[in-house]
Amino acid sequence: MPLKYVSLVTLAVQNAALSIVMHYSRVSTPAAQAYSPASAVLLNELLKGSISFVIAFLRVADASDASGRGVWGWWASLRRVCREIFSPDCWKLSIPALLYVVQNSLQFVAISNLPVATFQVTYQMKILTTAAFSVMLLRRKLSSTKWLSLFFLAIGVGIVQIQSSSTSHVPARQNMPVGSAHESAPLHIHIMSPLKGFGAVTAACFTSGLAGVYFEMVLKNSKADLWVRNVQLSLFSLIPAVLPVFWESSDPRYYQAGLISGILRNFGGWAWATVAVQVLGGLITAIVIKYSDNILKGFATSLSIVLSFLASVALFGFRITPSFVIGSTTVLVATWMYNQPPGQELVAITGAIPV
Ligand code: C5P
């Protein structure tokens, strides 16, 4: 199977896995034993940046046949990759970097306050914001079918929101894995606030759209290697990611044992799994941008809705309501319609065969 399809299927599975693992990592412990989302965002950027740096370095070394030239070959490659990373235009990545850090932090608020499946469906609104920013910043023109599908998307998300908001302050026990030890735990573990969750997910959709379009603009207007751009993105992300960690470090309850153990406080298996799946997602997103296109990326995301929905039913005892099914189906159909290539759009709406 070509790398293009492998990366798309992996992105769909990663998307579904992230919302499930992140949600469980947040709701399965009492607030006093929760890990810090700020630490998770920082670790994500550190790991993603390091992996991207190794890939960028190996690519440069391979291109200049460093292994055949011994230590000096490797040293020359290291200097070259560093020159590329600290190129005069690297500052352009500071804007998407800041936006992605905000987005990754908002994701934690959203997923802690919404059921997994509801989060996934509502997060599809990022297609709407991406379209709006593409029209505004990239001067892209959208066909009437695309506008219509965006309208359906908003309706679908609205239907899912109405059903979820009506059950305000859902106890998170409803979202514990079926048969888990936590299922019988007292209700005070974690109280979800759908309004807060929807606010966070809406804001995350805006940062996702703006950051994605901005990253696309930077990539298409230069010849720099994708992995070098990824390192630049992570480097600039470190500044906004480290600030909340320093802010938290003023709390002597956590940081008296030292900075590293303060950052890693309450970091159990689920927290590490969340960071690992996030890192994987960032890397696959980069590969999908390079080897595939946004049309197929949209399909991967909508496939992940179905996957996380099925997993929510099996793992968290998520209750299927008619409005959830109608809302999710509308979102899926709208996503599919939006992703129809030009010329196929009429077929998408009418089902007619073009003559
Ligand atoms: O949902 P969306 O596609 O906007 O999410 C993009 C995610 O991928 C963010 O978490 C962002 O940090 C990450 N990303 C990345 N490297 C890129 C582009 C996105 O790590 N080049």
Ligand 1: distance of its center to the CA of 107 in Å?
A: 12
pLDDT band at 54 (very low <50, low <70, confident <90, very high): very high
Specify whether the CB–CB gap between 123 and 227 falls below 8 A. no
Ligand 1: distance of its center to the CA of 344 in Å?
A: 29
pLDDT at 308: 77
Q: What is the domain extent for residue 137?
A: 3-167+192-352
Domain membership flag for residue 123: yes
Domain membership flag for residue 326: yes
pLDDT at 352: 41
pLDDT, one tens digit per residue, over 262-285 is: 888 888 899 999 999 999 999 988
Domain membership flag for residue 146: yes
Ligand 1: distance of its center to the CA of 353 in Å?
A: 37
Q: Which of 57, 14, 9, 23 is nearest to 280 (CA)?
A: 14
Specify whether the CB–CB gap between 41 and 105 falls below 8 A. yes
Domain membership flag for residue 178: no
Q: Of 39-43, 52-56, 298-302, which gets the smallest average pLDDT?
A: 298-302
For the chain, the residue count is 355
- Report the nearest atom of ligand 1 relative to the CA of 289: 21
Domain membership flag for residue 291: yes
Domain membership flag for residue 109: yes
**Pocket of ligand 1, beta carbon within 6 A:** 48, 100, 104, 126, 208, 212, 215, 230, 233, 281-282, 285-286
Domain membership flag for residue 175: no
Q: What is the distance between the alpha carbons of residues 249 and 171, in angstroms, rounded to a whole number? A: 30
Asked if the interface predicted TM-score (ipTM) of this complex is over 0.90, the answer is yes
Give the closest residue (by CA) to ligand 1 atom 20. Answer: 282
pLDDT, one tens digit per residue, over 144-181 is: 888 898 888 888 888 876 665 554 444 444 444 444 44
Domain membership flag for residue 177: no
Ligand 1: distance of its center to the CA of 351 in Å?
A: 34
- Rounded alpha-carbon distances, angstroms, from residue 291 to 5, 205, 255, 263: 9, 24, 43, 36
- pTM value surpassing 0.90: no
Give the chain's domain count. 1
Give the closest residue (by CA) to ligand 1 atom 13. Answer: 282
Between 229 and 216, the more confident residue is: 229
